């Protein structure tokens, strides 16, 4: 169950502009507009000949590529796009861009019909589209209002090129012809509250326990042929059904502020949803995974949620929360499988993958815990799921336009955990990670940097930094790869340290105080071997620390500055 943010339309900008010629249809639009104008005599509607003349004048000034999409329900352009127009003066700063944007709105008024006097600056947004082979853009948004009374869903978005200040498009969701609109209500606010309570009782059979303070708005009343302004009181009325486990009842009402007539109703509650959060125990922090380790609860971002018949219903959100249409109680299934991670496989002989079947008892607040009594075998699956998904989210947060994960297609990355085919180590094949179980038998010689010394316990390698390191080996070839394995191993450690935000690689890999295993660290002091072989610090992993040390320390200094 959730509430709508509020009534009214949206101001979402459109960008980047579509290719030329994809949609105008002006003659057909005009035919409808002409009929509407005849039938309803809407004074705001421009004559098509006026719009044609205005577009010709605009093209003469700014180039022939400009197109105008006309909305027949208002009889004006709602999207001017396709060309490039120079600003009157070059913007030098943020205020300059807002000024330039307003200049474009004024210059194109005959096309969109929105009086600039009815617009108030709301915000300016920088769009780093150069990351997807376009150029950086700036959107400036103005909200429409008359005498401080907002036009619901009414705004004008101006899109400009960030480097060259060109105008790229003007888009309007507002109402033309509002400059003389009268915003004086005849119905007082208190009367609107009474109207809402009465209406609520007749709609629901409940007395309203709460009505919001009536807010004066200019509603956009739409039907198939027209979109017109109406001065209205906007009120929300609600009741809670005490003693029942049912959603509250809540409605939005719009009453004409001059006549008191009800002009629009909207249910404010999405009924019959069941919501909750999927969580799992994972190994605490970046520690080693073993039976006596520490565990903490984490949300299972983007995990797939199945119904009792194994049909997928939805994916959880980034924070593990989900909403399912239906009524509680409701049975769902989850396993370590999600939107960006294929199902984690459990490799020991006869090892089964963890699946949690859970009955959601309440409409809201359900908590589904996948790994209630954490042991090594299941926590290895949980860790692998959690950290592979974290790497995806880290890349997406660093660069929202990075498409490398998409190139996995349907072969999403995953891990085979508790894989005794390797010892005290991780690896990759095809599009999956291989991670070994804990054991003591693999510990032997002292000559390898990362392996345990004799008698030590090597912990399960399904732990934070090792998972990130191995996954990065799957990602690097997609970014073009590296010239040397040393460089690649160093970069894999950089990913591991950056994603986990700490400087120790493979912490607690070996549990033995007397013979701890060697650490690789970001705060190392290894130097580049100018004259020696590339692997002069030992193997490619150890030598890669020259790179991971440099990049880790650079990150620390950037964070301090
Ligand atoms: Zn490696």
- Going from the Cα of 472 to the center of ligand 1, the distance in angstroms, rounded, reads 8
Instruction: End-to-end CA distance of the chain: give it in Å, rounded.
Output: 45
Residue 40 has pLDDT above 70, yes or no: no
Residue 215 has pLDDT above 70, yes or no: yes
Q: What percent of the chain has pLDDT over 70?
A: 84
State residue 115 phi and psi, 5-degree precision.
-70, 120
pLDDT confidence band for 5 (50 / 70 / 90): very low
What is the per-residue pLDDT for 292? 87
User: How many separate helices (H) and strands (E) can be counted in the chain?
Assistant: 10, 29
Q: Which CATH number does 189-270 carry?
A: 3.10.450.40
For the segment 148-152, the average pLDDT, to the nearest whole number, is 95
- Going from the Cα of 348 to the center of ligand 1, the distance in angstroms, rounded, reads 23
pLDDT confidence band for 448 (50 / 70 / 90): very low
The torsion region of residue 450 among left (phi > 0), alpha (psi -120 to 50) and beta comes to alpha
Which residues make up the environment of ion ligand 1, defined by Cβ < 5 Å?
489, 492
Residue 179 has pLDDT above 70, yes or no: yes
Handedness of CA 422, 427, 432, 436 (dihedral sign): positive
- Going from the Cα of 489 to the center of ligand 1, the distance in angstroms, rounded, reads 5
Lowest mean pLDDT among 70-74, 367-371, 441-445: 441-445
Give the CA count within 13 Å in the CB-facing half-sphere of 267. 11
DSSP states of 448-509 as a string? SSSSPBTTPEEPBS-SHHHHHHHHHHHHGGGGT--SSHHHHHHHHHHHHHHHHTSSEESTTS
Residue with tokens 């340290």: 497
- Going from the Cα of 483 to the center of ligand 1, the distance in angstroms, rounded, reads 15
For the segment 502-514, the average pLDDT, to the nearest whole number, is 80
- Going from the Cα of 296 to the center of ligand 1, the distance in angstroms, rounded, reads 27
Residue with tokens 């949690």: 356
pLDDT confidence band for 45 (50 / 70 / 90): low
What is the per-residue pLDDT for 526? 83
- Going from the Cα of 488 to the center of ligand 1, the distance in angstroms, rounded, reads 7
What is the per-residue pLDDT for 510? 81
Q: Is the entire prediction scored with pTM above 0.85?
A: no
| pLDDT mean across residues, the chain | 85
Question: CA 177, CA 179: separation in Å to the nearest integer?
Answer: 6
Asked if the bond preceding 329 is cis, omega within 30° of 0, the reply is: yes
- Going from the Cα of 1 to the center of ligand 1, the distance in angstroms, rounded, reads 46
pLDDT confidence band for 444 (50 / 70 / 90): low
- Going from the Cα of 492 to the center of ligand 1, the distance in angstroms, rounded, reads 6
- Going from the Cα of 429 to the center of ligand 1, the distance in angstroms, rounded, reads 12
Domain boundaries defined on the chain: 2-172, 189-270, 276-560
Residue/partner pairs of 472-479 with CB below 8 Å, 24 or more apart: 472/391, 472/496, 473/428, 474/413, 474/428, 474/431, 474/433, 475/391, 475/404, 478/404, 478/407, 479/404
Lowest mean pLDDT among 7-11, 273-277, 365-369, 531-535: 7-11
- Going from the Cα of 425 to the center of ligand 1, the distance in angstroms, rounded, reads 10
Which distant-in-sequence residues (6+ apart) come within 8 Å of 318 by Cβ?
301, 302, 393
- Going from the Cα of 516 to the center of ligand 1, the distance in angstroms, rounded, reads 20
Pairing of strands 414-417, 215-222: unpaired
Query: What is the strand order of the sheet 414-417 is part of?
Result: 345-346, 414-417, 432-435, 426-429
What value, to the nearest 5°, has the Cα angle with vertex 423 and ends 417 and 428? 55
- Going from the Cα of 450 to the center of ligand 1, the distance in angstroms, rounded, reads 11
Residue 209 has pLDDT above 80, yes or no: yes
Residue 423 has pLDDT above 90, yes or no: no
What is the per-residue pLDDT for 205? 87
- Going from the Cα of 541 to the center of ligand 1, the distance in angstroms, rounded, reads 7
SS (H, E, C) 131-150: HHCCCCEEEEEEEEEECCEE
What is the per-residue pLDDT for 343? 96
Nearest CA among 438, 290, 297 for reference residue 375: 290
- Going from the Cα of 434 to the center of ligand 1, the distance in angstroms, rounded, reads 12
For the segment 122-150, the average pLDDT, to the nearest whole number, is 82
Strand ranges in 185-320 using DSSP code E only, listed in sequence order: 210-211, 215-222, 227-239, 249-256, 262-267, 269-270, 273-283, 295-299, 304-307, 312-315
- Going from the Cα of 430 to the center of ligand 1, the distance in angstroms, rounded, reads 15
For the segment 421-426, the average pLDDT, to the nearest whole number, is 87
pLDDT confidence band for 8 (50 / 70 / 90): very low
Residue 276 has pLDDT above 50, yes or no: yes
């Amino acid at each position: 169950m959730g509430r709508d943010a509020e009534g009214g339309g949206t101001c979402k900008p459109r960008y980047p502009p579509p290719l030329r010629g994809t949609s105008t249809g002006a003659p057909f639009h005009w035919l409808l507009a002409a009929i509407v104008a005849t039938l309803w005599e809407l004074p705001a509607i421009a004559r098509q000949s006026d719009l044609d003349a205005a577009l010709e004048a605009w093209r003469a000034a700014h180039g022939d590529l400009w197109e105008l999409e006309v909305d027949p329900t208002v009889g004006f352009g709602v999207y001017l796009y396709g060309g490039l127009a120079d600003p009157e003066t070059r913007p030098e700063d943020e205020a300059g861009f807002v000024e330039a944007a307003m200049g474009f709105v004024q210059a194109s008024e005959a096309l969109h019909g929105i009086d600039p006097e009815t617009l108030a600056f709301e915000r300016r947004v920088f769009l780093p589209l150069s990351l997807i082979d376009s150029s950086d853009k700036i959107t400036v948004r103005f909200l429409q209002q008359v005498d401080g009374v907002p036009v619901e869903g009414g705004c004008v978005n101006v899109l400009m090129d960030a480097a060259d200040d060109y105008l790229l498009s003007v888009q309007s969701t507002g109402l033309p012809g509002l400059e003389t609109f009268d915003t004086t209500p005849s119905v007082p606010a208190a009367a609107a509250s009474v109207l809402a309570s009465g209406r609520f009782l007749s709609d629901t059979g409940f007395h309203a326990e709460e009505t919001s303070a009536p807010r004066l708005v200019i509603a956009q009343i739409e039907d198939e042929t027209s979109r017109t302004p109406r001065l209205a009181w906007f009120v929300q009325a609600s009741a809670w059904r005490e003693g029942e486990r049912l959603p509250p009842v809540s409605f939005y009402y719009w009453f004409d502020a001059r006549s008191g007539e009800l002009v629009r109703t909207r249910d404010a509650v999405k009924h019959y949803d069941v919501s909750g959060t999927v969580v799992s125990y994972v190994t605490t922090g970046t520690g080693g995974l073993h039976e006596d380790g520490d565990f903490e609860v984490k949300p299972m971002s983007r995990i797939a949620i199945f119904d009792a018949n194994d049909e997928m219903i939805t994916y959880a959100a980034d924070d593990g929360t989900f909403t399912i249409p239906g009524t509680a109680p409701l049975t769902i299934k989850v396993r370590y499988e999600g939107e960006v991670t294929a199902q984690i496989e459990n490799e020991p002989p006869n090892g089964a993958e963890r699946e949690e079947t859970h009955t959601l008892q309440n409409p809201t607040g359900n908590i589904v815990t996948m790994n209630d009594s954490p042991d090594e075998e299941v926590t290895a699956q949980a860790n692998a799921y959690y950290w592979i998904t974290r790497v995806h989210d880290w890349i997406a947060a660093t660069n929202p336009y990075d498409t490398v994960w998409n190139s996995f297609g349907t072969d999403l990355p995953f891990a085979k955990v508790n894989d005794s085919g390797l010892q005290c180590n991780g690896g990759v094949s095809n599009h999956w990670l291989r991670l070994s179980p804990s054991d003591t038998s693999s510990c032997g010689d002292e000559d390898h940097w990362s392996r345990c010394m004799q008698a030590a316990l090597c912990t399960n390698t399904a732990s934070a930094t090792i998972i990130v390191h191995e996954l990065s080996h799957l990602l690097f070839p997609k970014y073009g790869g590296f010239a040397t394995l040393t460089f690649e191993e160093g970069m894999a450690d950089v990913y591991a340290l950056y994603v986990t935000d700490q400087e120790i690689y493979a912490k607690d890999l070996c549990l033995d105080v007397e013979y701890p295993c060697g650490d690789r660290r970001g705060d190392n002091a290894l130097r580049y071997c100018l004259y020696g072989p590339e692997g002069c610090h030992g193997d490619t992993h150890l030598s890669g620390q020259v790179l991971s040390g440099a990049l880790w320390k650079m990150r620390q200094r950037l964070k301090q500055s």
